[in-house]
Amino acid sequence: MLEYDFMRTAFMAGGVAAVVAGAVGFFLVLRNLTFAGHALSHVGFAGATGSVLIGVAALWGLLAFTVAAAIAMGFLGDRLRNRDVAVGIVLSLALGLGVLFLYLYTTSAGAATAILFGNLLGVDRATLWSLFGLSAATVLALAVISRPLLFATLEPELAEAKGVSLRLVSVLFLIVVAVAVAETAQVVGILLVFALMVGPAAASQRLTSRLWPGLALAIVLAVSETWGGIALAYLTDCPTTFWIVLLSCLVYFASFVKLAPARARARFAG
């Protein structure tokens, strides 16, 4: 299957996006912000469809909307708690706008499928290079904020007493999450970003109580599930996204056999 150029491109694009999804997802699960990744993907749907409507690549519209939403969510901070109804209404509005933009964009129905469920086998070289650049920037940004991010995650009161700005850390991290969501959506689509960003990270935190090995394991699982999904799609002619999500869910369920439930926050703090 590697004789085909589009398959080699798919493996490279999937691997790059999976590395970012695994790394960012690890901290996302650790901070109990999995809902944020889900919310940002829904908000980005409107941006992706809007950009397609005006003739711009969906990646850039998705990126712009998710980053803007991430900044707003980061500044709201704890005030987002107990406001599930308000957040749900905003997300519904974003989905509604996305549906409207798709309705107005009548050129191709395939655009809707690609945005919602991904089209990894259709990634072109231009998008691949964009993913490389965004991935490098995302990993670098995550490395820069990793220490204050961990401090603010595990000991928020002490971190604030030591002069760490919890709001600034939250805003910066959510911007990183937004970029990761935009990249991951190229692999599994808007609707299934949650599976690739959260599944490997949640499984790794069940399988090991050590911080850096857990981060490495999350990345390895994300890449393995993505590459495995691509290979199975080639062999079975079933959608790539289906296999990636299925593998992510199976690995997560298998982690229950290995390790009894425990609080990740308490283990990492110890």
* Residues 149-200 pLDDT 10s: 999 888 888 888 888 888 888 889 989 999 999 888 877 888 788 888 999 9
pTM: 0.84
Cβ pair 188, 196 in contact under 8 A: yes
Looking at every residue in the chain, the average pLDDT score rounds to: 83
Residue in 201, 206, 190 with CA at minimum distance from that of residue 241: 190
How far apart are the two ends of the chain, measured CA to CA in Å?
Answer: 46
d(CA 152, CA 161): 11
At residue 18 the predicted structure's pLDDT band, cuts being 50, 70 and 90, is very high
Domains of the chain: 5-269 (1.10.3470.10)
Cβ pair 218, 200 in contact under 8 A: yes
Query: Which pLDDT score, from 0 to 100, does residue 102 have?
Result: 75
Instruction: Return the structure tokens found at 185.
Output: 């959506």
d(CA 31, CA 177): 12
Alpha helix segments (H runs only) across the chain: 5-30, 34-53, 58-76, 84-104, 110-117, 125-154, 156-161, 166-188, 193-207, 211-236, 240-258, 264-269
Cβ pair 190, 115 in contact under 8 A: yes
d(CA 239, CA 55): 26
CA torsion 148-200-75-164 (nearest 10°) is -10
d(CA 50, CA 59): 11
d(CA 206, CA 253): 10
The per-residue pLDDT for range 232-258, each reduced to its tens digit, is 999 998 889 899 999 999 999 998 885
